[in-house]
């Protein structure tokens, strides 16, 4: 019988299972509209050897990016699919986006070995990263009004410069939807009647 990955939803029970078995979590963040998510399902996750490796060594959790944007915001590794390996309490070990079969076969044993040998280090690095993020948020909240406006102007410039006038979207392929950039552009248009930003969204 060929093994299949028995994906679990994001839940307290899944994390409790990971903790009781002392296994890392394999978090797959995907979306129904995402081409490379389907490719990864059809190649990497359909590979019987990889499925067996995952079921033996990890607790697999699959999340729909559109249903749980909060999880996507916290763990996204730069696009979709996001493939994140986590500790049983949700700290990031490592991750990436699309991982082809041959690479995944090598990666799973490496992650497992690193997790077993570096649990305290992973926790310490995650806590330090969270501390820096908190400090950055606090600093951003204390920026003077004129400095804040310069940040806004810079974001407008970056969005405008990276917009593809010919094919739409931002940057070069493979392109992913940048919903935050589009929401920002609409807000700036509404507040300042910045027509070029409306054109980008349209």
Is this model's pTM higher than 0.75 or not?
no
- The whole-number pLDDT of residue 42 equals 96
With a pLDDT cut of 90, the percent of the chain lying above it is: 55
Residue 137, pLDDT score:
62
pLDDT at 40: 96
Fill in the DSSP letter of residue 43: T
Instruction: Check whether 168 has a pLDDT greater than 60.
Output: yes
Q: Catalogue all structural domains in the chain, each as residue range(s) with its CATH number.
A: 12-118 (3.40.30.10), 145-201 (no CATH)
Residues paired with 25 in a beta bridge: 59, 86
The candidate with the shortest Cα–Cα distance to 24, out of 90, 87, 75, is 87
- The pLDDT of residue 129: 76
CB 82 within 8 A of CB 97: yes
Residue 146 has a pLDDT of 58
Burial of 88 (0-12, 13-18, 19+ CB in 10 A): buried
The tokens 């929401």 sit on which residue? 183
User: 123-148: per-residue pLDDT in tens?
Assistant: 888 788 777 776 666 666 665 555 76
pLDDT tens track for 75-99: 998 889 999 999 999 999 999 999 9
| Residues 47-50: contacts with CB under 8 Å, at least 24 apart | 47/101, 47/104, 47/105, 48/2, 48/3, 49/105, 50/101, 50/104, 50/105, 50/108
pLDDT, position 64? 97
Which pLDDT score is estimated for 2? Answer: 61
Q: What's the mean pLDDT when you consider all of the chain?
A: 88
Instruction: Give Cα 89 to chain centroid, integer Å.
Output: 17
Question: What integer pLDDT is reported at residue 144 of this predicted model?
Answer: 59
Check pLDDT > 90 for residue 22. yes
Alpha-carbon Rg for the chain in angstroms: 20
Kindly report whether the peptide bond that precedes residue 159 is cis, defined as omega within 30 degrees of 0.
Answer: no
DSSP helix/strand/coil, 62 = strand
Kindly state the average pLDDT of the residues 172-193.
82
pLDDT in tens, 32-79: 999 999 999 999 999 999 999 999 999 999 999 999 999 999 999 888
């Amino acid at each position: 019988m060929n093994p299949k990955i028995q994906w679990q939803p994001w839940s307290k029970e899944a994390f409790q299972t990971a903790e009781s078995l002392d296994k890392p979590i394999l978090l797959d963040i995907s979306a129904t509209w995402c081409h490379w998510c389907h490719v990864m399902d059809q190649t990497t996750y359909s590979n019987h050897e990889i499925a067996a490796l995952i079921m033996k060594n990890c607790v697999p959790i699959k999340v729909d990016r559109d249903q749980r944007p909060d999880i996507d915001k916290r763990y996204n590794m730069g696009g979709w699919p996001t493939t994140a390996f986590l500790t049983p309490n949700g700290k990031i070990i490592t991750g990436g986006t699309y991982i082809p079969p041959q690479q995944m076969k090598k990666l799973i044993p490496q992650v497992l070995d690193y997790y077993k040998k570096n649990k305290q280090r992973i926790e310490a690095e995650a806590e330090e990263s969270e501390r820096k993020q908190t400090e950055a948020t606090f600093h951003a909240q204390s920026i003077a009004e004129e400095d804040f406006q310069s940040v806004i102007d810079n974001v407008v410039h970056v969005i405008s410069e990276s917009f593809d006038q010919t094919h739409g979207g931002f940057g070069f392929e493979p392109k992913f939807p940048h919903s935050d950039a589009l929401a920002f552009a609409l807000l700036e248009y509404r507040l300042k009647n910045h027509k070029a930003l409306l054109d980008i969204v349209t």
